[in-house]
Amino acid sequence: MRGGGLLVAGTTSDAGKSVVTAGICRWLVRQGVKVAPFKGQNMSLNSFVTREGAEIGRAQAMQAQAARVEPTALMNPVLLKPGGDRSSQVVLMGRPVGEMSARGYHGGRQQTLFEPVLACLEELRATHDAVICEGAGSPAEINLRRTDIVNMGIARAARLPVVVVGDIDRGGVFAQFFGTTALLAPEDQELIAGYLVNKFRGDVTLLEPGLDMLHGLTGRRTFGVLPYAHGLGIDEEDGLRVSLRGTVRESVVAPPLGADVLRVAVCAVPLMSNFTDVDALAAEPGVIVRFVDRPEELADADLVVVPGTRGTVKALAWLRERGLADAIARRAAEGRPVLGICGGFQALGEHIEDEVESKAGAVDGLGLLPVRVRFAREKTLARPVGEALGERVEGYEIHHGVADVRGGEPFLDGCRAGSVWGTHWHGSLESDGFRRAFLREVAAAAGRAFVPAPDTSFHTLREEQLDRLGDLIEEHADTDALLRLIEEGAPKGLPFVPPGAP
């Protein structure tokens, strides 16, 4: 096999395309197949920095780990980072190239990116046995089909067979499968090989009559029914919805080693980015991570995290409007731990000069750290390595803000002032030794009899989760049929389902 491919599309956003793509990658690599993930265009605030200093979606970085290959910009050539006001930052081959409205992007710019996107896919296919591509949203977004470079546009250009994933837990999956197919042009329908049901609960035999009827209606088979799987907690594009009330980050089910648990409250700021930073905390036995948007929810928290954001000035205004800013300031005055990461770090500082991101000019920060921030047009993209609390730390940086640290104790590239910590480094808590040392400091400041587990390995836990995804594909999908699709393409003679594209 050389240069085989498959596009994993979905009936909706969040149907499970990212995890199915990762699962197929992990299953293939366990079969000895050299495989790479690919997503031509991604819209997400969760991003990652590759070793060559390119910014790509975290979902593609996770899929690369599933495939056991190093992530590169080829795997996600276009990344759109929403910034409010109906505009997004366009990141091309890992570097920002400007801000653009949705109308401007779909009105012409997107089409100019088609050739570079297709070239990236072809380069991956030339160097790998198989490339598993992920679509975006739904391929039946008929208003955007003319400018599509991530769903049927790329599938037709590269002659990729397509499997459509549907989330049955939401209901309506048969109508979604049928309607998605029936709204595509005949040339697109030729590539829709079949369907994959995701998040099924119960007895699969009760589903089989519906799958048979779907086959009769469309002439296409279902390649598997994946059961609902709890506790995967892997990186996705949009793993948190707009409403975060009561959302708890999934964690391993294990009792705490000490007498107490640690409660972590993450402020759900607008345009929150890389909230996956707290996954490593949630992986620790006895650490409970919760996303909050009210000041009273900070009362019993042992640690408050102000996470990254694509809108630092907007996040500051939100913290003040909600009363969270005052609650965080009271915590700091009482010596109770607060951690700011990237945009959250900037918000905790004294002063911000922003003529780039919000164009708000001079804005006062919360004044909890001796830091002044100036936004630069050039984005910092880096993979720093350092030391904190006597432990080696690795991280990655994605920010326009340049911090001028004017006091406090050094902490990674930021500082610590009393119980308040700030850094631009994402991913630092994935360094096991540092995470344990940091949690010991938090527990001591909070007066909790909490003891970090001595053997929690975040990397090992992530590998176990990716293996579970591979197991789901191996045990519940027709892997022989999927392999034939990857090697040979969509079956010939698939019937047209009317009415087709309008």
Task: List active site positions.
Answer: 342, 426
Interaxial angle between packed helices 208-218 and 173-182, expressed in degrees from 0 to 180 and rounded to the nearest 10 = 10
Question: What is the DSSP annotation of 412-477?
Answer: TTEEEETTEEEES-BSGGGSHHHHHHHHHHHHHHHT------TT--HHHHHHHHHHHHHHHHHHHB
Three-state secondary structure of 53-100 = CCEEEHHHHHHHHHHCCCCCHHHCCEEEEECCCCEEEEEECCEEEEEE
The per-residue b/e assignment along 157-180, b for 16 or more CB within 10 angstroms, e otherwise, is: ebebbbbbbbbbeeeebbebbbeb
Question: Residues 432, 389: contact at Cβ < 8 Å?
Answer: no
Q: Please give the C-alpha separations between residue 408 and each of 119, 368, 416, 426, 435, in angstroms, as whole numbers.
A: 49, 10, 5, 20, 21
Q: Please give the C-alpha separations between residue 346 and each of 46, 72, 99, 414, 440, in angstroms, as whole numbers.
A: 18, 28, 22, 10, 25
User: Nearest CA to 236 among 389, 46, 413, 79?
Assistant: 46
Token couple for 200: 């099924």
User: Nearest CA to 365 among 420, 429, 307, 319?
Assistant: 319
Write phi, then psi, for 322 (nearest 5 degrees): -80, -10
Question: Residues 306, 295: contact at Cβ < 8 Å?
Answer: no
Instruction: Report the SS3 class of residue 343.
Output: helix
Token couple for 237: 């594009």
Write phi, then psi, for 83 (nearest 5 degrees): -130, 15
Question: Residues 281, 289: contact at Cβ < 8 Å?
Answer: yes
Burial class (CB in 10 A: 0-12, 13-18, 19+), 388: buried
Question: What is the DSSP annotation of 225-244?
Answer: EEEP--------SS-S-S--
Whose tokens are 């949203």? That residue is 137
- Residue ranges with strand state E in 201-286: 221-227, 262-267, 272-273
How many Å apart are CA 443 and CA 461, to the nearest integer?
23
